[in-house]
Structure 1
Amino acid sequence: MFPILRNVLIGMAGSLFLFSCGKSEEGRIALSASDQVSYNFHVRPILSDKCFACHGPDANKREAGLRLDTEEGAYAALKDAPSQHVIVPGDPEQSVAYQKIISEDPSEQMPPPESNLKLEENEIAVIKKWISQGAKYESHWAFVPPQKSPVPETQPWGRNEIDYFTYTKMQEKKLSPNDEANSYALIKRLSLDISGLPPTMEMMEKYQNLDDEKYETLVDDLLNKDAFGEKLAVLWMDISRYADSYGYQDDEYRTQWPYRDWVIHAFNKNMPYDDFITWQLAGDMLPNATKEQILATAFNRNHKYTEEGGVIHEEYRVEYVLDKTNTFSKGILGVTMECAQCHDHKYDPFSQENYYELYAFFNNTPEKGFEGDVSRSKPAKTPILWIDQKDFQKEGILDYLNHQDTSKIMVSVMDELDTLRKTFILDRGVYDAPSKEVKPGTPSSIMKFDDQYSKDRLGLAKWTTNKNNPLTARVFVNLIWQEIFGQGIVKSAGDFGMQGDLPTHPELLDWLAVDFMENGWDIKRLMKQIFISSTYRQSSEVNNKALRKDPENLYLSRAPRLRLTAESVQDLVLASSGLLNTEIGGPSIKPYQPDGLWEAATSGRGTLAKYVQDHGDDLYRRGLYHFIKLTVPPPKAIIFDASNRDRCEVTRGRTNTPLQALVMLNDPFVLEASRVLATKIEKENMTPEEGIQWVFQKVLCREMTGEEEGLMLEYYQEEKTRFDSHSDQVKVSLEVGEMEMDESGISAESAAMMQVIVALYNLEETITKI
């Protein structure tokens, strides 16, 4: 049963958010005599932690010319003893590296004692066995095209292939899956994961006794709601670094919101992911490109722009191309190519030349580094797509854009120069230090960019979505897994390179990636596979044995307990109170915000120098639509770990700070929602018992226990007694927010009920996906 948080109900002394953290120990496992050791999954993590600092890819720090990260280096003879070799495949006793690892002589021992690094016994055993088995090096797992691993034979638990993989891993770790969660928990979990909104009372009543058929119907119903596209768009806005201003000092307004509308529309109509990526990278280069395809290329133009006088045009133009390159590599390929802007990558097989070959794809746009001073600023930068009323009126073409006035809209998009701009490697990454000329290309370590691809962004898009590309499908499947389970199969979702985390379920990741491509890159189908699985449907109850063995829940023997994202916290409060404005798309809005924040952090110039709050229904729109000014991101969202959107981000943190409790206790949107619910209870003439039962189910999405009901009524009576004794505080307490208040609802009963509801919103359970 759910915990009774009496202290929060009565004292409202903060919010409790419980999260675990730590480093995966995948790869440091005890091996039986029959196990085959993998360099990628068993050996390399050990060498990377303990040996590569002195004997790895960084030539400037390499000691004694000894290199262990490559087969050539590891098999080499010692310079001062040519008859001896670093590693002798099949013979640990003749391998100098192994002998130094097991040596007890401080002058010979590796790693040296002064490094404070030491190999554990099981790690030494892994290395010995690896050498005995032939010391076979492997290409990095993420740069090998995924293959559909054989699905483990039907297991005694599970509904689909996902479960057969996860159950096999649980058994390896001597874990057992949890029982299935109850209907209320599953309804809330699904609704939050698919729509980002809590379930309605009608939904909970309709599906309260879930069987497999009703469960699948619920999944389908939620996937077909427009709110699905809004929920998934939050992830893509982080990746595409969407914002409503330009950043830098003056930070003027810009109109990129039609791109956000397009993303929502694309997800809702279930555009295949390969098309989704192709349009964003090169929609303008498709044959007979439509305005919608050109609009999609705004993905590349969401980066910051300077409007400061006196800047060097070429410096900032180069900065913008760098940003496009880094966003593509991190958000779509899941690799840290930006490390190679100034020098060869120290860990991954990407040279500086590789980086500028990729950069060359984005270097041929007529974009400018600076377009003029603030007085001539426009809400879009060259090249521009103009959208007018005629575009909205054409059925099927941009008719999903939420544009309610008659003015034209300007959106920054992609275009190509008539004459090819030359691209050079920039010495140390400096804009005015060109060296060797390069042509568009991609790292061959990922996949060769051969003659079948045109040397432009459209060719890059086709290379990216080629089914032999080892990264694209894996990275997106992992992002979806992260969205649902809170952590990807690869924890480092933006780094599939050699310093990234190893996948906890590599066979499952590859199976899902191949299956995703084989089935038309169908995003909704992929997500439904996960939602239907028994792995997803487990309860989140934590037992001590599983917690000790797997504190991070890497092996999924229970459902995760995850605090909601910043946007979903906002949306849950608004939706449960009945305040939510469900309008889809359109320009961003400015909600309640503490006075003076913008003014304290701006130049004092331009249209965004002062914060002008919106009013009416706009105040109650979803968190996705909150105005993002890059120099002053929305404070409530940042407190709840939202991206500040100044660069591509693929993973959000989950912190637990007192500021989050202060938001939930004091923010006008929580207090107003509580007041609206309380006065509705009064207006509907509900008894306190009826009102508490009703509001409890709306906010927590389940029925309450008798003990909880007793606590709630006790707290209500305490608050009512307080307001009866201090009648002057009743109206003051209720006067919060702009939603009109019925004078008949101003009473000690409403004020007391409002405090009960504020307490409910402050429960850990309320804003946690359980």
Structure 2
Amino acid sequence: MRLDLADAAFAALKENPGKFAIVPSDLEKSEVYHRIISQDPNTQMPPPESNLALTQEEIELIKRWIKEGAQYEPHWAFVPPKKAPLPKVKDEDWPKNEIDYFTLAKMSQKGLKPNETATKAELLKRISLDITGLPPTPEMMAQFEKDESPDAYIRMVDQLLDKPAFGEKMAVLWMDIARYSDSYGYQDDNVRTQWPYRDWVIHAFNNNLPYDQFLTWQLAGDMLPNATKEQILATAFNRNHKYTEEGGVIPEEYRIEYVLDKTNTFSKGILGITMECAQCHDHKYDPISQQNYFELFAFFNNTPEKGYEGDVSQSKPAKTPILWIERNDIDQLLTFINHPDTSKLMVSVMEELDTVRTTYILARGVYDAPTVPVKPNTPESILDFGENFPKNRLGLAKWTTDAKNPLTSRVFVNLMWQEIFGQGLVKSTGDFGMQGDLPSHPELLDWLAVDFRENGWDTKRLIKKILTSATYMQSSKVDQKKLSIDPDNKYLARAPRLRLTAENVRDLMLASSGLLVPKIGGPSVKPYQPAGLWEAATSGRGELKTYKQDKGEKLYRRGLYTFIKLTSPPPMPIIFDGSNRDQCEVNRGRTNTPLQALVMLNDPLMMEAARVLATKIHKEKPDAEAGIEEAFQRIMCRKPSAKELDILVSYFEEENERFVNEPEKAKDLMQVGEYPLDEKEIHAESAALMQVIMTIYNLEEAITKV
């Protein structure tokens, strides 16, 4: 019995040929209707023992649908998006752009009204964190506060979008999607040099490379006519998966694993469809079959990549096929790669075999169980591949960015919405399929998707559109009524209040203290880490068998550049819900745990940032109250209230008195971290100010976008 297919739903019932589950436009003859309104437990659907029940609203919806003809349509995400007319709203003064008409109409349906506009200080912190991942500088705060012109906010958005830090902020998301790491994974987990690809991603976002080209280069840059080294480098996207270097493995088994990973990353990260369940067999209600899966697999199955390349003693920082990057490439063509020495770089990239490798449907998805051969193709339920595109990765890239493709622009627009609001218009960001969530604002999602595509796949324009909406500019305050009607803020009658991502928690401490080294790109760095973590998760062989902490300015790079070893990811990012990068991730959780509080209270970087900021401020502003106000503004991005300032000054006085009486404790406290410390700055007042700054860092608001 299937109700998901029209032919099955309209057919005569097998055990009662005189009756039908659904008769279009006829409730009395539709057995489904009688079953869902029945009170008889023997006939009621769903049956009482299932512990499932339809709401009255759902029953009325099914009733209305049958009366109106029981029309079946394809799954919403597989229908190409169209721009709906802007909804009519009562308060026509509130909308600032098209987005607001859709959100305001939905609020009105739910009995909600939008919040007032956030304060200037809140807006500046918000857009700075959303665009660059960094807090605004004191100079930016002063400039924005003084600027009373009507377009001050828009100009600040433009100013931030032009900063190189924009590409770094965007790259954090894309590294999760591209499952970027600095090691191979598995037992030996040796070092690899894929970081030039990360430098390219930063460069592409900063140069606002249109998203269709951004995808095309990553999927098939090597296959473009007269492909440049930059376009080939972009294909490293496909090669960031784990690699084994263990002896005794079956090469073909792991080669197949690598192709499976490429297929799953493409489907989840770019199409927003989780296809991996179709690797093993067909599923009754799934529009994507096992044949569909292996036809998609075939696009990635034609490279000279090997499943195994020698033992760990011969480990190389890249695997076949390899792109060699010479010094003159960096000087002339790939100037965005931050590589100060003269050695050549090796990056794992894509390449096609001269002869097409036959792809088979694998029984149960197992590497050594080939059955029927298949050709490269895409699921017809999404968009028929047809004869318009070549049957290779370049054809796949063209299919992906074709105007008729219903998913690509929707998925990226939803990702950007999630980055800004903490939750996508489709909550299941990586699953637009049958089991995914319905969009909260379907017309808005489609409008944005079409607008994005019609305007040249312009990422910066899309972000600016969202950030200049009245929806985005609301205060994040919440009252009891809104909380009871919309606890998850699905209908956007307030701005979200979100804890920063793991990398940006680190970045905020570095930037606010003045420790941040703003270099773009380059090899990953190894900051402070508790002793013994790596050694507990290693085979004891290879370059990464022990953790060798970096020194000097490498300790103060942005979180994006922290070295990621797959078998032992950096602890601080993991504690703050960072991706462990062993597979494609499009959505990080946001938890609140005691471990996070312990990190903020004890992390050596936080204490060092507090120490450096305290000594710097004390030199410039010896007056305690002025110094505390300066520190508060740098970290919180607003001025403290009189009450807040009184509490902090009182705490400073208590700590100052303690350190005057116990100077050795002040000395011990201020020895934290490797940033040079002037002996003259070790005294009670600096130590007391350091304690106050540590307290400010530990306030919830410090690492929260309000």
TM range (shorter): over 0.9
SS at match of 1:535: coil
Q: What is the deviation of 1:120?
A: 2.3
Structure 1 position 502 matched with structure 2 position 438 = yes
Structure 1 position 165 matched with structure 2 position 110 = no
CA distance in 2, matches of 1:693, 1:222: 25
Output the amino acid matched with 2:113: S
Output the amino acid matched with 2:363: D
Q: What is the deviation of 1:685?
A: 4.6
Unpaired runs of 5+ residues, structure 1, are 1-65
2:50 to 104, 115, 121: 115
Q: How does 1:268-279 map to 2 (within 5 A)?
A: 268-279=206-217
CA distance in 1, matches of 2:507, 2:621: 27
SS at match of 1:407: coil
Structure 1 position 262 matched with structure 2 position 229 = no
1:460 to 372, 377, 396: 396
Q: What is the deviation of 1:152?
A: 2.2
Q: How does 1:639-658 map to 2 (within 5 A)?
A: 639-658=575-594
Summarize deviations over 1:360-394 as a string: whole Å, max 9, x none.
00000000000000001100000000001110121
Q: Name the counterpart of 2:2.
A: 67
1:349 to 282, 287, 310: 287
CA distance in 2, matches of 1:347, 1:390: 55
Higher mean C-alpha displacement, 617-626 vs 153-162: 153-162
Q: Name the counterpart of 1:100.
A: 35
Q: Name the counterpart of 1:242.
A: 180
Summarize deviations over 1:625-680 as a string: whole Å, max 9, x none.
00000000010000000000000000000000000000000000000000011111
Contact 2:88/2:105, CA 8 A, preserved across alignment: no
Q: Name the counterpart of 2:83.
A: 148
Q: Name the counterpart of 1:7.
A: none
Summarize deviations over 1:286-306 as a string: whole Å, max 9, x none.
000000000000000000000
Q: Name the counterpart of 1:670.
A: 606
SS at match of 1:147: coil
2:670 to 727, 734, 753: 734
Summarize deviations over 1:205-253 as a string: whole Å, max 9, x none.
0001555411111000000000000000000000000000000000000
SS at match of 1:254: coil
Structure 1 position 175 matched with structure 2 position 117 = no
Structure 1 position 340 matched with structure 2 position 278 = yes
Q: What is the deviation of 1:441?
A: 0.2
CA distance in 2, matches of 1:300, 1:651: 19
Q: Name the counterpart of 1:296.
A: 234
Contact 1:579/1:673, CA 8 A, preserved across alignment: yes
CA distance in 1, matches of 2:569, 2:4: 42
Structure 1 position 229 matched with structure 2 position 167 = yes
Q: What is the deviation of 1:438?
A: 0.1
Assess, with a 3 A threshold, how the Cα gap between structure 1 residues 691 and 282 changes in structure 2: closer, same or farther.
Answer: same
Q: Name the counterpart of 1:63.
A: none
SS at match of 1:94: coil
Output the amino acid matched with 2:112: L
Summarize deviations over 1:303-360 as a string: whole Å, max 9, x none.
0000000000000000000000000000000001111100124443111000000000
Q: What is the deviation of 1:165?
A: 1.0
SS at match of 2:702: coil
Structure 1 position 193 matched with structure 2 position 130 = yes
Higher mean C-alpha displacement, 155-164 vs 234-243: 155-164
Assess, with a 3 A threshold, how the Cα gap between structure 1 residues 346 and 377 changes in structure 2: closer, same or farther.
Answer: farther
Q: What is the deviation of 1:268?
A: 0.2
Higher mean C-alpha displacement, 368-377 vs 108-117: 108-117
SS at match of 2:376: coil
SS at match of 1:512: helix
Output the amino acid matched with 1:596: G
CA distance in 1, matches of 2:649, 2:20: 78
CA distance in 2, matches of 1:210, 1:423: 64
CA distance in 2, matches of 1:610, 1:700: 38
Structure 1 position 719 matched with structure 2 position 655 = yes
Output the amino acid matched with 1:632: S
Higher mean C-alpha displacement, 734-743 vs 716-725: 716-725
TM-score (norm 1): 0.90
Q: What is the deviation of 1:122?
A: 2.4
Output the amino acid matched with 2:482: A
Q: Name the counterpart of 2:425.
A: 489
Task: Calculate the aligned-residue CA RMSD, in Å.
Answer: 1.0
Q: How does 1:280-319 map to 2 (within 5 A)?
A: 280-319=218-257
Assess, with a 3 A threshold, how the Cα gap between structure 1 residues 558 and 712 changes in structure 2: closer, same or farther.
Answer: same
Summarize deviations over 1:581-636 as a string: whole Å, max 9, x none.
00000000000000000001111111000000001001000000000000000100
CA distance in 2, matches of 1:756, 1:93: 73
Q: Name the counterpart of 2:68.
A: 133
* Percentage identity across paired residues of the two chains: 68
Q: How does 1:242-641 map to 2 (within 5 A)?
A: 242-394=180-332, 397-641=333-577
Unpaired runs of 5+ residues, structure 2, are none
Contact 2:363/2:371, CA 8 A, preserved across alignment: yes
Assess, with a 3 A threshold, how the Cα gap between structure 1 residues 346 and 256 changes in structure 2: closer, same or farther.
Answer: farther
Output the amino acid matched with 1:630: L
SS at match of 1:766: helix
Q: How does 1:27-66 map to 2 (within 5 A)?
A: 66=1
CA distance in 1, matches of 2:618, 2:642: 23
CA distance in 2, matches of 1:79, 1:283: 54
Output the amino acid matched with 2:361: I
Q: Name the counterpart of 1:25.
A: none
Summarize deviations over 1:478-517 as a string: whole Å, max 9, x none.
0001000100000001000011000111111111111111
SS at match of 2:471: helix
Contact 2:499/2:703, CA 8 A, preserved across alignment: yes
SS at match of 1:84: strand
Structure 1 position 206 matched with structure 2 position 143 = yes
1:77 to 5, 8, 12: 12
Summarize deviations over 1:732-757 as a string: whole Å, max 9, x none.
01110000001111011111111100
SS at match of 2:17: strand
Assess, with a 3 A threshold, how the Cα gap between structure 1 residues 346 and 184 changes in structure 2: closer, same or farther.
Answer: farther
Q: What is the deviation of 1:92?
A: 2.0
SS at match of 2:28: helix
CA distance in 2, matches of 1:510, 1:548: 29
Summarize deviations over 1:187-216 as a string: whole Å, max 9, x none.
000000000000000000000155541111
Contact 1:347/1:499, CA 8 A, preserved across alignment: no
Q: What is the deviation of 1:681?
A: 2.4
SS at match of 1:574: helix
Q: Name the counterpart of 1:34.
A: none
Task: Work out the number of aligned pairs and report it.
Answer: 703
CA distance in 2, matches of 1:456, 1:251: 32
